[in-house]
Amino acid sequence: MRIDIITVIPELLESPLRHSILGRAQAKGLAELHVHNLRDYSTNRWRRVDDYPFGGEAGMILQVEPIDRAISELTSQRAYDEIIYTSPDGETFDQGIANELSLKGNIIILCGHYKGIDHRIREHLITREISVGDYVLTGGELPAAIIADAVVRLLPGVIGDAESALSDTFQDDLLAPPIYTRPAEYKGWKVPEVLLSGHAARIESWKMEQALERTRRLRPDLLDKGDSRR
């Protein structure tokens, strides 16, 4: 998989894309993550990529031409399955979307900034708009890093134990059950006996009961969501 991220502040993405699971995925050759500075596609000597909006609204807007030039250069080199714009009014990112994107080959993520981008880009070049929540951030760099992390970790071979990703919270519209490790008792706080029993069927039954209980208590909306898909 290859993910190209277009941004006006590439420095914000250097650390999250180069370390931990994302860093190992790239070292193994399982994913390519490339960050492109939008200012490199500016046509003026000041490398300016923003301007005031028509109509007198406050704030600055990323211009259509440098974005078009950046996307056009990338798409001239290879085909892309999605050209994503990180926007607070896009579809809310969830595990289902991460699963779907992990099956793609090449993806472009355009990071918004300032007041946003010229709407003509959204009309003519963007194939999908994704939000990470109902709040506004300074720019789309952090959402782009979130999307990349959630997607790349699902690629075969990225996580040593493939079952680990499949049992993550949200994979089956349920929160994950409680997890424990050694020691079995600490300060009188004990690990549930069933997890120490070695009885696989009982353990799986307990995990499902706990997942359902936690979901009902903490995120009942997920149960409604799961029912609507069945």
Q: Is 92 helix (H, G, I), strand (E, B) or coil?
A: strand
Higher pLDDT, 57 or 159: 159
Pairing of strands 189-190, 2-7: unpaired
| 29 has a pLDDT exceeding 80 | yes
Domains and CATH numbers, the chain: 2-152 (3.40.1280.10), 169-229 (1.10.1270.20)
Q: Is the Cβ–Cβ distance between 35 and 13 less than 8 Å?
A: yes
What average pLDDT does this structure show over 141-162?
Answer: 92
Higher pLDDT, 114 or 152: 152
**What is the signed CA dihedral for 171, 151, 7, 59, rounded to 10 degrees?**
-10
Neighbour-count burial for 100-127, b at 16+ CB within 10 Å, e otherwise: ebbeeebbbbbbbbbebbbeebbeebbe
pLDDT in the model for residue 165: 58
Q: Is the dihedral of CA 160, 164, 169, 172 positive or negative?
A: positive
